[in-house]
């Protein structure tokens, strides 16, 4: 796992877990705001809205 921050291009299972635990930690952005952050791998298989 990367030690750097990641962003979530989709609403993945990890987002759901963090949302339940501590929404303030959540970082969901579009590509214009990611900077050097890496995309969350779990977002390859996002949850269906």
**What whole-number distance in Å separates Cα of residue 46 and Cα of residue 24?**
20
Is residue 14 close enough to count as binding Zn ion by CB under 5 A? yes
Stretch that binds Zn ion, among 4-12, 18-26, 27-35 (CB under 5 A): 4-12
| Cα–Cα nearest to 14, from 36, 23, 2, 31 | 23
Is residue 42 close enough to count as binding Zn ion by CB under 5 A? yes
**Least gap, CB of 23 to Zn ion (angstroms):** 14
Q: Are 47 and 11 in contact (CB under 8 A)?
A: yes
Applying CB under 5 A, the residues found at the interface with Zn ion are: 8, 12, 14, 40, 42-43
């Amino acid at each position: 796992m990367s030690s750097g921050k990641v962003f979530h291009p989709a609403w993945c299972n990890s987002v759901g877990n963090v949302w339940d635990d501590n929404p303030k930690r959540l970082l969901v952005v579009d590509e214009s705001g990611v900077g050097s952050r890496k995309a969350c791998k779990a977002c390859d298989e996002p949850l269906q809205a």
